[in-house]
């Protein structure tokens, strides 16, 4: 057993509570340990992105607790949450969220800059990542000069640049061709193995699901199944 990275208990997120309640997340219990490579799957509207936002401290649950690396983030102030995310979490957003006036390199190193990393350290890490994502010639390009797939690769590099304890990725391969998707998954799998970075993906992409070591299914805000991949064997537990 490894160290617990994510421990969520009885988590609920409800919209329209005073009229017709809609449970985006319904009584979710989730335990993820260091080094896991987990895919969160389910139909559109099942609550995948909402759950990622709650775990990442971008939103607060209406009920329940979420403990990240031993810290109950539901009890943190907005300022404390910002500091906690900066030091612990890498995000890959479906909409990229790149800063238009910054170059690809500047976007990728932005979190490292906020953390106070030295220029030489930033240059070495970003250079390594951009070589791996095959975008060495785009370091000085701005987002508007990049294709959607290229912007997604920069967003992934930004999430990985500061070597966070874990990465939350919302549809990280949605805008990528097969070669680029496979390349990014290779990078993330290597960092998962070598640097023990924990990954939690929200995805519809079968390419991601096939590489995951664990697959959690959400339906109508509830976890309905949790499948662990052990070598070539599949251990499947239905949630009653």
What is the per-residue pLDDT for 240? 44
| pLDDT given at position 238 | 46
What percent of the chain lies above the pLDDT cut of 90? 67
Task: Report CA-CA distances (Å) from 53 to 92, 106, 218, 226.
Answer: 11, 25, 15, 20
- Domain range list for the chain: 36-53+77-238
Residue 236 has pLDDT above 60, yes or no: no
Average pLDDT over residues 194-204: 92
- Strand locations in the chain, DSSP E? 4-15, 22-33, 37-41, 63-68, 71-72, 89-92, 166-170, 198-202, 214-219, 222-230, 233-238
Min mean pLDDT across 108-112, 170-174, 201-205, 222-226 is at 170-174
Mean pLDDT of 152-177: 89
Tokens representing residue 153 in the block: 């690769």
Q: What is the pLDDT of residue 93?
A: 84
Which has more confidence, 53 or 18?
53
- Range 86-110 average pLDDT: 92
Of 170, 148, 145, give the one whose Cα is nearest residue 159. Answer: 170
In CATH terms, is domain 36-53+77-238 a member of 3.40.50.300?
yes
Residue 170 has pLDDT above 80, yes or no: yes
Predicted model pTM: 0.87
**Confidence grade of residue 122 (pLDDT, cut at 50, 70, 90):** very high
pLDDT category at 40 given cuts 50, 70, 90 is: very high
């Amino acid at each position: 057993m490894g160290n617990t990275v994510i421990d969520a208990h009885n988590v609920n997120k409800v919209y329209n509570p005073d009229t017709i309640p809609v449970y985006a997340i319904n009584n979710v219990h989730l335990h993820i340990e260091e080094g896991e490579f987990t895919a969160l799957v389910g139909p559109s509207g099942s609550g995948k992105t909402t759950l990622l936002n709650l775990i990442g401290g971008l939103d607060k649950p209406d009920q329940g607790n979420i403990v990240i690396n031993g810290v109950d983030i539901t009890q943190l102030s907005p300022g404390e949450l910002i500091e906690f995310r900066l030091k612990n979490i890498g995000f890959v957003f479906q909409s990229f969220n790149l800063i238009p006036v910054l170059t690809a390199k500047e976007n990728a190193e932005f979190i490292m800059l906020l953390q106070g990393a030295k220029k030489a350290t930033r240059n070495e890490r970003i250079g390594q990542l951009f070589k791996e994502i095959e975008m060495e010639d785009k370091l000085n390009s701005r987002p508007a000069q990049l294709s959607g797939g290229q912007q997604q690769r920069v967003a992934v590099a930004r999430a990985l640049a500061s070597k966070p304890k874990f990465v939350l990725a919302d549809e990280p391969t949605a805008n990528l061709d097969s070669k680029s998707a496979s390349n990014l998954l290779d990078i993330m799998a290597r960092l998962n193995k070598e640097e023990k970075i924990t990954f939690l993906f929200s995805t519809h992409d079968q390419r991601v699901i096939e590489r995951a070591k664990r697959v959690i299914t959400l339906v109508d805000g509830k976890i309905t199944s949790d499948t662990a991949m052990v070598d070539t064997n599949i251990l499947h537990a239905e949630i009653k």
